[in-house]
A and B are shown apart, each in its own frame.
Chain A
Amino acid sequence: MSRLPRLAVPLAAFAVLAVAIVVMPAFLLGYREQQAAYVGLYTIALLGLNVLTGYTGQISLGHGAFMAVGGYTTAILMTDHGVKDIYTIPIAAVIAGGAGFLFGIPALRLSGLYLALATFAVAVATPAVIKKFEHFTGGGSGKNLFGSPELTGSLHPVHVLGHPLSFYNWLYFLVWTIALASYVAIWLFLRGRVGRALRAVRDSETAAMSSGVSLARYKTLAFGVSAAYAGVAGSLLVIVTTYVNPDTFPIGLSIFLLVGIVVGGLGSLLGMIAGGVLIEFLPFWAQDVSKSPGTPSVVYGVVLIALMFLLPSGVAGLFRRVGELRTHFKMKP
């Protein structure tokens, strides 16, 4: 294989994605656009979690907590400091990223199961902490953003390049533009030296260390980058929902993010969209199976276990395997 196909495949995939994003709104009506926006923001969070878990091999069951940091940064800046919503997104990324970087320092001493356990505890404790600091976060009743002048498009239609966009239209394009930019950024981040170092840490810490890869530097870096993505996703989640309270970020969210990267395929980038679709739509699909309470959870659990048995490399792995089979058959005369 020459050098061309290696770049051609991701470029083609990216082009298809970009075209799909522009064309999609023609087929989506009203709240479907909002759902598509949710898919986009979950995709962003999954991209970040994938850097940490898929590429660096550090399990996080607590990424909902970093989303909460981002989401509350946006909500507090908008309601208490009158900052326009889109300007809060980079700030949310920086603050959540900083939190992730700081959490990454003690996490250096934890490996494998212990890290899973510690992050799980962080996610479970997050709503309680948010409720405690009531004067800052609005406590259990949360913060409402709908109708505030800081929320773009909630009072007047948005004009982008001369086209008026409805509120949901605007949300859709906002989220997916950021998602596309996230894809580019993460692809650039992972393709060179840094990506190789992260994978080395995942595959063997000892080997990575003896090749001169600083575990501390790359693990905290992975934590920071991954939390920054989660912060952006959390910020967008609050903007799209136009409301935030402690239950916006339950332990279930953190678990579903892990489900998402596993379904999408650990270490795959495009697969994350499949993960985002699953997080957004599986509850609806599960409700079609049965209306009784608890069914979504059962379906989630069964899907998760079945995937670990049948398809450990996720949707992306399935495609890869189909590709391998095809080359296999082609080679035969």
Chain B
Amino acid sequence: MASFLQQVVSGLASGGIYGSLALALVLIHRATGVINFAQGEMATFSTYILWTLTANHGWPYWPALAFTLAISFAGGVGVHQLVVRPVERGSLLRVVIVTIGLLLMLNGLVNRIWGGSQHSLYSPFPTRTIDVAGVAVSIQDIGTIGVSIGVVIVLWLFFQFTKVGLALRAAATNPAEARLIGVRVPWMLGLGWGLAAMLGAIAGALAAPSLASLDPNLMQATLIYAFAAAVLGGIDSPAGAVVGGLLLGVGLNLLGVYVDFIGAELRLPAALAVILVVLLVRPSGLFGKTVVKRV
């Protein structure tokens, strides 16, 4: 039983990472109706900036993290304004291809700038375990879960109780009317991209220590898990993304440990199966609203 609970906790920890990245995907999808295939690479890029600051320039962790988040935010806004905005209203294929182009470009840039070798990223949470009701839980896992849930709460407060949050929601729900009442829609959408990039940076900073290494493909598999989490929770529901992430993290971890056939190798195909099944059985996900298409 204790080992079962331990697996659940470590599943929750990886689920927190999936959830954070899924939340980034959901934010962008809500704001601009785009699924950002480059989200994982954007997160990897941010994580490398954090690594350079802490490991090569001797910055203390927290200022380095704050600086990384700021750069990521600016980068997200920049990407939206420069690259995505011109094609946003065009055909779907163009948008998808542009984000795929971004994916390739960022992956190449990471390889160019930092090389393909593996690095280890400092984590503010120690890996030592503590005893919680008879279950040995690593502090890093608790920290990861705490951070991802904390992030959702902060975001929710921001969207619900600030004027900018309200404007953001207005711009996403009805751009035309939002513009009429004086919301600067393009900048609001850019803001959404910036926030998403920040979330990605957080996910990367959480993922790199828990996967034990930082390499250019850090977030590639995580992106698929995040897709699965977002689809499971409902692609337009922020809370759903996080719940979906946690469910997926626990589910995949338990499947991997207790079902021999799946093991570690078939984790990714299992996530794919989740995506397909959810899309076929309940396309709006657990928390999403069913969209009625008007003809």
Interface residues of A (CB under 8 A from B): 53, 57, 59, 61, 106, 109-110, 112-114, 116-118, 120-122, 124-125, 128-129, 131-132, 206, 251, 255, 258-259, 262, 266, 290, 292-305, 308-309, 312
Contact = CB atoms under 8 A, between A and B. Distances in A.
B106 interface: yes
Contacts of B220: 124, 251
Interface string B269-293: 1011001100110010000000000
A304 B97 CA distance: 7
Task: Place the interface of chain B in its size category.
Answer: 35 or more
Contacts, number: 143
Nearest to A302: B105
Given A113-B92, A305-B83, A294 B108 contact: yes
Contacts of B109: 294, 298
A298 B279 contact: no
Contacts of B2: none
A294 B105 CA distance: 9
A301 B279 contact: no
Given A296-B108, A298-B104, A309-B87, A124 B268 contact: yes
From A120, A131, A297, A309, name the one whose CB has the most chain B CB atoms within 10 angstroms: A297
Ordered nearest first, which 10 A-B pairs have the shortest CB separation?
A294-B111, A301-B105, A297-B108, A304-B101, A298-B108, A301-B104, A294-B112, A294-B108, A305-B101, A125-B269
Interface string B70-98: 00000000000001001100101110111
B51 interface: no
B280 A106 contact: yes
Contact of B275 (A113, A117, A293): A117
Contacts of A298: 104-105, 108-109, 112
A59 B220 CA distance: 20
From A120, A251, A266, A303, name the one whose CB has the most chain B CB atoms within 10 angstroms: A120
Contacts of B23: none
Given A258-B97, A294-B112, A304 B271 contact: no
Contacts of A61: 96, 100
Interface in B91-135: 92-94, 96-98, 100-113, 115-116
B112 A295 contact: yes
A125 B252 CA distance: 15
Contact of A117 (B97, B98, B231): B231
A117 B102 CA distance: 16
A110 B279 contact: yes
B280 A301 contact: no
Contacts of A129: 266, 269
B112 A117 contact: no
B8 to A, nearest CB: 24
B198 interface: no
Nearest to B29: A113
Contacts of B103: 255, 301
B12 interface: no
Contacts of A117: 35, 227, 231, 275
Contact of A301 (B101, B228, B266, B269): B101
A300 B276 contact: no
A262 B90 CA distance: 15
A132 to B, nearest CB: 5
Contact of B266 (A110, A128, A266, A305): A128
B34 to A, nearest CB: 8
A300 B92 contact: no
Nearest to B25: A117
B105 A109 contact: no
B37 interface: yes
From B228, B271, B272, name the one whose CB has the most chain A CB atoms within 10 angstroms: B272
A304 B99 CA distance: 10
Contacts of A124: 220-221, 224, 268, 272
A305 B98 contact: yes
A312 B91 CA distance: 10
A114 B97 contact: no
A157 B90 CA distance: 53
Nearest to A252: B104
Contact of B93 (A59, A114, A293): A59
B106 A301 contact: yes
Contacts of B265: 128, 131-132
B1 interface: no
Nearest to A266: B93
B154 interface: no
From A53, A59, A304, name the one whose CB has the most chain B CB atoms within 10 angstroms: A304
A307 B105 CA distance: 14
B104 A304 contact: yes
5 contacts: A59-B93, A109-B279, A259-B100, A304-B98, A304-B104
Nearest to A53: B93
B228 to A, nearest CB: 8
B295 A206 contact: yes
A129 B261 CA distance: 12
A258 B100 CA distance: 10
Contacts of B216: 294
A116 B276 contact: no
Nearest to A109: B280
A109 B279 CA distance: 8
Given A113-B96, A304-B101, A305-B102, A128 B268 contact: yes
From B90, B93, B220, B269, name the one whose CB has the most chain A CB atoms within 10 angstroms: B93
B92 A302 contact: no
B276 A120 contact: no
A259 B106 CA distance: 16
A297 B97 contact: no
A251 B220 CA distance: 10
